[in-house]
Structure formats: structure tokens, C-alpha cells
Structure 1
């Protein structure tokens, strides 16, 4: 006897490690989008999977001290980007937080993308994907790309000496050839700051 869509989805979900994220598109070989969506909703009602956001499901991890562990905004953003075969880069307060320029953990995060513009609403957070030009996603260094976005958020006239020190310390971790490539993509005032990191590499 052939297995139902629910059973086929459940088998695939149970094979995945805890914390894995799923989309309707992951199960379209089992049935139509409508049928898969209905099956996932039934599974949510039974507690077999959890609904993270509209169209996004998970096999959640559990921690003996903290209970259910929900995926981070970064994990969700990366999963969406992978599904859409899109590039993303954090902006604003999120980029600043990752680099240690801000202790603020934003509830509403914004990523630049070359994929579709959209907003994903979570329980108490939102993830916004903002369409941008290819140039803004052409950086090849993870740290240098973040630095550019963080400094743009702070602004030329507001950046402090202490913030520049933190940025330069972070850029020490970047591979020089990636930094050299990305400097060319930055506004001139940011280039001036980033070049100091290259100079310190040469002096080392």
C-alpha cells in the first residue's frame, strides 16, 4: 500500500537532524503545493513539526535546561537564501552587532539580497529581505562586507575613533586578497578606514 503524503513527509523530517528547517518546496515530489501545505498543517496540529513562520517549518531542538530551541534569524535567513539561490548580507544594527560595534540585538533585521524582496514575520521578530544592486553584494570577504554595511549604518560624520579601532581589529581576521578586492567597492570614506587594515598587514 502506498504511503500517504503525511507519512512520506514525516519520514523525511525524522531523518533530518534536530533544528533543520523545511519549506513546502522541499516536499513537492510527494504532491502538489496545496496538498503538501495541508499535510504540514496537519503535522503541526499533531506536534510532529513546528511552524516557524508562514511557509517555514522545523524539527525543533530541545535543550534539557532551556526547553525548545527555536532557530535564529540568521539560520532562517540563510535557509531562505539557500532555497532561493540568492546572496544576502546583513545590514544596519545587525551588522554592527555581529562586529561588536553594538550590544543591541535587533528584533527586526534587514538583509540586502539579489533574490526576491520579502518580509518574514516570526513570533516577535521580523526578517526583511531588501532588493539591492549587484554591486552591494559583490564583496567576497565576510568581515569586510559586514564592515562596509556597519559603517554605512553609522555614517561618515558619526563614526568614532573607538568604532574604527574595533573595525580594524575585526579586519585583521580577513584574508588580505579579499580585503583588497572589497576596498574597491566601498565609498571613499570607508576605503580610507579599510586601507589602514591593509597597511597594518604589510607592517606585520
Structure 2
């Protein structure tokens, strides 16, 4: 079986929306050969290129009858998984994810222990910024977003409505994770978070 066929077979076995990196096929040939094959597969619509060196197997929406590409968030998570790096959404994205803001940030900024880099995905940008291990030690799904969102808003600018919404969201958090994250959060944020206990 040719390298082309091996790569195409691997892609065909994956489900729609799967993200592929050129490095995923490095066991089949050298880098320039793989890039050439991926480019050919893109032309044949077997793959869609979502960013430099990042591809996705097309997924078609039955409702809209059009191709759906992975979101910038899914791409960021796939990059972190590949690099075995931790990710922490920054303030404006954390506010959006928690429903404190309705504005979809065009620039997604993630703190990471991986490489610092910027990736363009359509009209959006994903930026990875290095941060200290302490910031990445937050473990709760909701509480780590809360810490970032509140840092972004600022201690004197948090409205009573925002505080109430945050407290309600934190009540759904795993109690062990919440307690651990309260211990890691800045004092003023820890005081707001503690109201959920």
C-alpha cells in the first residue's frame, strides 16, 4: 500500500470532525512527502486545512447541508493534547464560557506550560502564552474559569449580579476541586468563591 493510501485509510477510519496534524503521519514517511500528500487530500476534499499544518476530516451538518469545521476551542484542546500541555483560558474567554459576557472573543488566549505561539483559524486567532505552574494548578472545571474571569473583571468592578451568577455556577463544582482552587486563588477572589461552599 502506498503512503497516500495509508494516510487516506487512516483518515477514512476517523470520524467526521477529527483533527489531524502533519506529525500524526510521521511514521509513514518524511515530512515533505506527508505535507504533499495532505495538500493533495485537501484538494480532493478528503481533508480540510484549518490552520498551518492542522487539518480536519470534514463533518457535514445534515440540517445545513454544509461542512462544519472544528471550533477554535477544539483546535486549541487538540494542540494541547498533542503537546501534552496544560491549558487555561484567559479572562475574556473565561467570561464568555461562564456566560458573564455574550461577546465571542475573536482572539482566544490560553495560558499554558507548552510553547508560546499564535495560530490563525479562519477569522479567529488562538494565542498560547506561557504562565507559571501555580496558575495551571487550578483543577475545577468551573472554578478555574471563575478565577480567570474575575481577574479580568477586577476586584472593584464585579457587579452583585455577576457575583451571584458565579456563586450559582460554583455550587455545581466538585467540592474537593473548589476547596483546592479557593486556596490557590487571590484573596479577594477566594472570598467570593467561598460563598459557594
**What residue is the counterpart of 1:4 in the other structure?**
2
Aligned partner of 1:97 in structure 2 is 96
Match of 1:13 in 2: 11
Return the TM-score normalized by structure 2.
0.97
Task: Provide structure 2 residue ranges, at least 5 long, that are not aligned to the other structure.
Answer: none
Tell me the secondary structure at the aligned position of residue 71 of structure 1: coil
Equivalent position of 1:168 in the other structure: 167
Q: Distance in 1 between matches of 2:139 and 2:61?
A: 36
Deviation per residue, 1:19-68 (Å, 9 max, x gap): 00000111011001221111101111121111000010010110123211
Query: RMSD of aligned C-alpha atoms?
Result: 0.9
Q: What does residue 158 of structure 1 align with? A: 157
Distance 1:15 1:90 in 2: 32
Structure-1 residue corresponding to 2:111: 112
Contact kept, 8 Å, 2:46 with 2:58, in 1: the verdict is no
- 2: distance between equivalents of 1:35 and 1:117? 27
1:94-113 Cα offsets, whole Å, 9 max, x none, are: 10011110111111111111
- Whole-Å separation in 2 of the counterparts to 1:143 and 1:8: 41
1:61 paired to 2:59: yes
Indicate whether 1:193 and 2:197 are aligned.
Answer: no
Distance 1:72 1:170 in 2: 24
Question: Counterpart in 1 of 2:178?
Answer: 179
Moved segments of 4+, more than 3 Å:
none
In structure 2, the residue corresponding to 1:127 is in which secondary structure? strand
Alignment map for 1:130-141 (pairs within 5 Å): 130-141=129-140
Alpha-carbon distance between aligned partners in 2 of 1:60 and 1:73, rounded to the nearest angstrom: 15
Q: CA deviation at 1:4?
A: 2.0
